[in-house]
Amino acid sequence: MVKQTLLASDFKSRTDLEAYIKAEIGTDIPANKEIEHTIKGTRKQLKKLQLDDKKTVFGCKVVITGGLSTKALLEAKKAK
Burial of 56 (0-12, 13-18, 19+ CB in 10 A): middle
Checking if the pLDDT of 67 tops 80, the result is no
SS3 64: strand
4-15 pLDDT per residue, tens: 999 999 999 999
Q: What local confidence, expressed as pLDDT, does residue 53 receive?
A: 86
Residue ranges covered by each domain of the chain: 5-79
More confident of the two residues 23 and 69: 23
DSSP at 77? H
Q: Quick one: how far is CA 26 from the chain centroid?
A: 15
